[in-house]
Chains A and B, each alone.
Chain A
């Protein structure tokens, strides 16, 4: 074995240690492993590169990808391109935040604890909920945890989820539920692009109903109607989201009566990075707090009456409650949560509303341009910064031609919804200019 400089033991150390345990060679340490479980051939990995060769290699890989700003990417679908203020990147890079460990010891972790507490506070305000946790892995795991929480609160065994919830989130939910014996029913969507509530009337055994708004088609769901429908049932309304910026313009989950709000926080100051790391935002009504999954930071006072922060209600968590814990996830995405709180604080309430309006206006501009160009907008409901377009048969050719011109004309929905042939989901954020949209509308007609 080649000794590498980051391995701390010298050959003399190794000989001394082997002698202490009564062995002649390192091989002896593995003698108890059956021969047919041992790998004898050398791993097939390339030779090491110099720093400069490695940079070239990474540049080559980066150059092979179609990314903004070189490409105009009209795709959202759960991951959104937004400008991130430099202040956020700068603050986030500070070593106190980057290297912070799990804040189990409040006496040495006040900075991290306060930052998470502020994240929870702004998250609760943005979502209109009474309490938010320190974050989950991503929107999909937040939804799955929310549905398990609804099961615990309601003591029912079945949940319903709208087909207009992000298809990948539904797959994660399926993965969570499959081994448990709990049942998931799907609610279809209507011609206007929103969830069909009629099947709910025949489901009186539900513990939770999950609806996303804006939904996967970009449409705003009528959450208040759903809450109304669930009155006098045990079912909790779980409001999911992939683009929380929408709540700068539209009513938030709390205003619509949601019991749990959960979803993806990537759009709040976190780069898309090909899908991760992400931020699972999770908030609830206070009366359900003991059933909430995840870490929670609280505010208290010390013996001298000074404000301080600590992890609180830990009795819900796995390190104390073992198999009875509210979740088997004992961690959170702190650095992503900090990016989100810095982003929200940097924009401020009015900045957030203005940015939401800008996203809406730009998206409406492209929508009208494409409608004028003769393309169909199949769903009539109001949208935020995403919408579905039905292109004529054979659009795939046009799509490829646009790709050569460095434009990505949305996400083909057929992969996830076989019935939606030639339907694409398009997204426009503040990073797409009017000129970009005019260019797309012009090229797409050719």
Chain B
């Protein structure tokens, strides 16, 4: 596993305590897991995602990510309706390891209340929790 200073934490996403990130893109919010999360999990072999049209509350489980070590639940940082899922992860789950904030994104939701993003952590605040 890498040191914190070897991991990347971009400024343009907001962070959840459960290690998901959320990025505002127009009226949509893109969601994935952080570089820290993928590094902790190790090689990711399977990502189970919801279907377009499913709706979830803030903090509700929307899928699972399975690595060679463990299976972890994915929690939605903002309430909303799923409008897109990254189906390329079905065949290439390693994208989550290689580009957690890019090609390794998981779902896009239409947020019920976009201001929920403000309640998530900034990069600095998230890093503080990781230093613990």
A contacts, CB < 8 Å to B: 290, 315-316, 320-321, 324
B99 within 8 Å of A by Cβ?
A: no
A-B pairs with beta carbons under 8 Å apart, 10 shown: A290-B48, A290-B66, A315-B66, A315-B70, A315-B71, A316-B71, A320-B70, A320-B71, A321-B71, A324-B73
Once bound together, how far apart are the Cα atoms of A290 and B66, in whole Å?
Answer: 10
B46 within 8 Å of A by Cβ?
A: yes
B71 to chain A: which residues have CB within 8 Å?
A: 315-316, 320-321, 324
Once bound together, how far apart are the Cα atoms of A321 and B64, in whole Å?
Answer: 12
A290 to chain B: which residues have CB within 8 Å?
A: 46, 48, 66
B27-52 contacts to A, CB under 8 A, are 46, 48
Interface residues on B, range: under 10
Q: For the A-B complex with A290-B48, A320-B70 known, give 10 more contacts whose Cβ atoms are closer than 8 Å.
A: A290-B46, A290-B66, A315-B66, A315-B70, A315-B71, A316-B71, A320-B71, A321-B71, A324-B71, A324-B73
- Which residue of chain A has the shortest Cβ distance to B45 in the bound complex? A315
Once bound together, how far apart are the Cα atoms of A320 and B70, in whole Å?
Answer: 7
Once bound together, how far apart are the Cα atoms of A321 and B73, in whole Å?
Answer: 11
B70 to chain A: which residues have CB within 8 Å?
A: 315, 320
Chain B 58-83 against A: per-residue CB contact (8 Å), 1 yes, 0 no? 00000000100011010000000000
What's the minimum C-beta distance from A172 to chain B, rounded to whole angstroms? 28
The 10 tightest CB contacts between A and B, nearest first, are: A315-B71, A315-B66, A321-B71, A315-B70, A290-B46, A320-B70, A290-B48, A324-B71, A324-B73, A320-B71
A315 to chain B: which residues have CB within 8 Å?
A: 66, 70-71
- Which residue of chain A has the shortest Cβ distance to B67 in the bound complex? A315
What's the minimum C-beta distance from B85 to chain A, rounded to whole angstroms? 15
Once bound together, how far apart are the Cα atoms of A316 and B46, in whole Å?
Answer: 12
B48 to chain A: which residues have CB within 8 Å?
A: 290
What's the minimum C-beta distance from B65 to chain A, rounded to whole angstroms? 10
Once bound together, how far apart are the Cα atoms of A143 and B73, in whole Å?
Answer: 27
What's the minimum C-beta distance from B51 to chain A, rounded to whole angstroms? 9
- Which residue of chain B has the shortest Cβ distance to A316 in the bound complex? B71
- Which residue of chain A has the shortest Cβ distance to B64 in the bound complex? A324
Which one of A290, A315, A321 has the highest number of Cβ atoms from chain B below 10 Å of its Cβ? A315
B46 to chain A: which residues have CB within 8 Å?
A: 290
Once bound together, how far apart are the Cα atoms of A77 and B48, in whole Å?
Answer: 40
A320 to chain B: which residues have CB within 8 Å?
A: 70-71
Once bound together, how far apart are the Cα atoms of A290 and B73, in whole Å?
Answer: 14
Once bound together, how far apart are the Cα atoms of A290 and B93, in whole Å?
Answer: 15
What's the minimum C-beta distance from A311 to chain B, rounded to whole angstroms? 13
- Which residue of chain A has the shortest Cβ distance to B68 in the bound complex? A315
What's the minimum C-beta distance from B2 to chain A, rounded to whole angstroms? 23
Once bound together, how far apart are the Cα atoms of A290 and B70, in whole Å?
Answer: 13
Once bound together, how far apart are the Cα atoms of A315 and B44, in whole Å?
Answer: 12
- Which residue of chain A has the shortest Cβ distance to B46 in the bound complex? A290
B67-116 contacts to A, CB under 8 A, are 70-71, 73
What's the minimum C-beta distance from A225 to chain B, rounded to whole angstroms? 28
- Which residue of chain A has the shortest Cβ distance to B50 in the bound complex? A155
What's the minimum C-beta distance from A289 to chain B, rounded to whole angstroms? 10
- Which residue of chain A has the shortest Cβ distance to B61 in the bound complex? A324
A316 to chain B: which residues have CB within 8 Å?
A: 71
Once bound together, how far apart are the Cα atoms of A320 and B48, in whole Å?
Answer: 18
A321 to chain B: which residues have CB within 8 Å?
A: 71
- Which residue of chain A has the shortest Cβ distance to B54 in the bound complex? A155
- Which residue of chain A has the shortest Cβ distance to B69 in the bound complex? A315
Once bound together, how far apart are the Cα atoms of A321 and B48, in whole Å?
Answer: 15
What's the minimum C-beta distance from A232 to chain B, rounded to whole angstroms? 15
What's the minimum C-beta distance from A393 to chain B, rounded to whole angstroms? 57
What's the minimum C-beta distance from A330 to chain B, rounded to whole angstroms? 15
What's the minimum C-beta distance from A324 to chain B, rounded to whole angstroms? 7
- Which residue of chain B has the shortest Cβ distance to A325 in the bound complex? B71
What's the minimum C-beta distance from A114 to chain B, rounded to whole angstroms? 23
What's the minimum C-beta distance from B62 to chain A, rounded to whole angstroms? 12
Once bound together, how far apart are the Cα atoms of A331 and B94, in whole Å?
Answer: 31
Once bound together, how far apart are the Cα atoms of A316 and B66, in whole Å?
Answer: 9
Once bound together, how far apart are the Cα atoms of A236 and B66, in whole Å?
Answer: 24
Once bound together, how far apart are the Cα atoms of A315 and B71, in whole Å?
Answer: 6
Once bound together, how far apart are the Cα atoms of A315 and B70, in whole Å?
Answer: 6
What's the minimum C-beta distance from A126 to chain B, rounded to whole angstroms? 28
